[in-house]
Structure 1
């Protein structure tokens, strides 16, 4: 399958490497390929520059613009940050028409000036906007009515999404939500190829609200276990 990964951060790199390992035809999209390759400093999460990572691990995987990456893909994975995702994806609506688009971003606002901040080792914990009455997943679907948006991969670190057996032998739960049953099945099939065996369909894209809001619980558990500790959650039924 030809799969486009939009974004070059740590999460996107996890998918790029796993998809290549599985034998998919992978293409990576970014806003400005030349600017991305010219960077020499780590990103905000201290990942090495993408050009360095690409040269060391997957030099044959092309890096093109978002639109060029999406144009010929069978399935698109968006690793674009939540603050910029709607604008960036709307700009390539024509290339995304009829495609399955997996969105795993949370709509974080960093360093918020709020009355009751949640302190963390790196500053105030981000807040979510939208929240409760809307979600990023729904915003993307409304902006791209001809695209089959599936919210998934959200409730785990992306390194765990592509290697679920690294935690508890893989005995934990992944969620999907979206309006199109065939699109959700395509994402479910991809998750199974990643090694997931417990995949729970939450229904319509409105369930993206729950997945995105879980981010705060995920952070709280992570702080309790020790920052950097990967873990899974299991729906016991």
Structure 2
């Protein structure tokens, strides 16, 4: 399958590498490929320069967001939440009729808030939108001809693509969206990653719950001293 991964951060790299390992035709999208390849310093999360990573994964191509989306059947969105709607709207024509799996969280970094939440790496970002809307829904409204699925968002992407690294894989992943066939595409992809417990939450409105869970996930991770973990829905 031809798959585009939009975003060159750690999450995008995890998906691109795993998808290529599984035999998919993978193109990574970025705003400016030349600028991305020109960087010589680690990114804000400490990931090595993208040029170095790409050299270690010769089967993966780097292109603009539009070029990557145009070449793909399925798109995985890892563009940061603050910029996702704007960036995706700009390539609406290339996304029309396709499945877009969104794992972005609508974080606003360094928020000016009355009661900040201190964390080991600074003030906890604010969620915007929150409660009465979600980034997943905003993307779907901006892209009415695209089949948006919210998934992958409830844990780190490095363990989304390798679920057996936690508890032997005995934990739960969620999907939500308006199109049943699109959710099946996401479900099949998760199964290829190794997931066995995938819970369909229903319509895209459920993206609100997945996105708001990000703060609870962080709180648990702080309590575990930074260890990776998953959640299990016990029926």
TM-score clears 0.5: yes
Q: Which residue of 2 aligns with 1:236?
A: 234
SS at match of 2:3: strand
Give the drift of 1:223: 0.2
Q: Does 1:12 align with 2:15?
A: no
TM-score with structure 2 setting the length? 0.99
Cα offset for 1:60? 3.2
Displacement of 1:123 after TM fit? 1.4
Distance 1:194 1:163 in 2: 6
Residue number in structure 2 paired with 1:23: 23
Task: List alignment gaps of at least 5 residues for structure 1.
Answer: none
Residues 129-174 of structure 1: per-residue CA shift (max 9 Å, x gap): 0000000000000000000000000001000000000000000000
* 1:187-206 to 2 correspondences below 5 Å: 187-206=186-205
| Equivalent position of 2:131 in the other structure | 132
- Report what 1:149 is aligned to: 148
Corresponding residue for residue 74 of structure 2: 75
Q: How many residues align?
A: 235
- Give the unaligned 5+ runs of structure 2: none
Q: Does 1:3 align with 2:42?
A: no
Name the CA distance, whole Å, in 2 between partners of 1:3 and 1:235: 29
Work out whether 1:212 is the aligned partner of 2:189: no
* CA distance in structure 1 between the aligned counterparts of 2:121 and 2:231, rounded to whole angstroms: 25
> What SS does structure 1 have at the residue aligned with 2:190?
helix
Say which SS state the counterpart of residue 83 (structure 1) adopts.
Answer: helix
Q: Which residue matches 1:100?
A: 99
Query: Matches of 2:68 and 2:54 in 1, distance apart?
Result: 16
**TM-score, normalised with respect to structure 1:** 0.98
Q: Distance in 1 between matches of 2:185 and 2:192?
A: 11
Q: Distance in 2 between matches of 1:136 and 1:40?
A: 31
Residues 108 and 127, structure 2, Cα contact 8 Å, conserved in 1: yes
